[in-house]
A and B are shown apart, each in its own frame.
Chain A
């Protein structure tokens, strides 16, 4: 049976070694969502397209459809951010966490996820361009990724009764900020600055976000990571390596 060829542009999320000289490339495509494909011979120095299939790159590729894994047949680089990101260790650790988040937010392979594709591509671009601190980019990405998945923490109203306002208590199981009357036992009480920072990151208000101090950033990132991992029902391995100083 002749196998179907298809083409897409995609962001490379991670590569894993396969056999002597191959890679399994995990990526999120504009039209095909998360995909995994075998890239044959790319670890050899003679490979024609190994360099284009490095993590964090935006590529245009042609694939041969497979039952479990596709096969990469042609690749062109569009914007290869990998090297610029790897030159900044904090950016590299943030990009790794972004890649893992993207994988976890797309549990079903082949299901289109255009908004997450665009979000991932945009996050990697600003990381490579050093536009904002890497840890803030990661936190903003996770908040917006959760928004697309329908799990965004509610930050401007009570997550239980819907009462509008800047409530002080935060409950992950309840889904965000909670008012004094509704707050469940065990709710966290983050500083108002941390919640303010989360609101800024959720809408991409970088001026306000960059005015925050390190302690507030750590407090907010802890809440964001806990909220995401609670909904994913698993830990993100790469988060513990993110450089937040």
Chain B
């Protein structure tokens, strides 16, 4: 079909997640017809992201420095650590504006079927952080699925004997939705986690 540089570009784009052969072809032709300056900016951004971005040495969130913006922020408390699976989850929690503590990015969830055990995650590093003794509460914000729940169970088993409060994010009804459309599992969890109105 296509040959040379265009074929190479379509093949490389097709390797990206969520992009199929048609999508790769469409993006390749867009690049071909786009302004050279814009494409230089894109190529530069791709190169820079690989050269500059690494993980924070404390929380393992993505960062361009040894310590990420959140770990460097002196206004945030060391007493609360929120444990998430991926860096994307840090952004999701940050968007709430409700949390002023630090984070710890595990790098996934325990999933024996995929060959991911506790040793493949940054659990040892989390335990080292907790042993420093400044943490009072560990908030487990792993995904609300079976792997995320099992990871939270495992972490709670490890951390509770250290005298640190371990909490889990609540599951429940989405804001703005109708009760009648909630599935029975989510509604059941919302009932379990109901709160007394002051």
Contact = CB atoms under 8 A, between A and B. Distances in A.
A164 interface: no
Q: What range describes how many residues of A lie at the interface?
A: 20 to 34
A144 interface: no
A242 B117 CA distance: 10
A69 to B, nearest CB: 15
Contacts of A240: 117
Contacts, number: 65
A211 interface: no
Query: What secondary structure prevails in chain B residues at the interface with A?
Result: helix
B115 A237 contact: yes
Contact of A93 (B112, B115, B186): B112
Interface residues of B, number: 23
B183 A45 contact: no
A160 to B, nearest CB: 35
A100 interface: yes
Contacts of A238: 112-113, 115
Contacts of A242: 112
A103 to B, nearest CB: 9
Interface of A: 14, 19-20, 45-46, 48-49, 51-52, 54-56, 77, 80, 82-83, 85-89, 92-93, 96-97, 99-100, 237-238, 240-242
Interface of B: 17-18, 110-115, 117, 145-147, 149-150, 153-154, 157, 174, 181, 183-186
5 contacts: A14-B113, A45-B174, A51-B185, A85-B146, A88-B153
Q: Which 5 A-B pairs have the closest CB atoms?
A: A238-B112, A86-B149, A51-B185, A96-B112, A241-B112
Given A48-B183, A51-B183, A85-B146, 5 more contacts: A45-B174, A86-B149, A96-B113, A100-B112, A238-B113
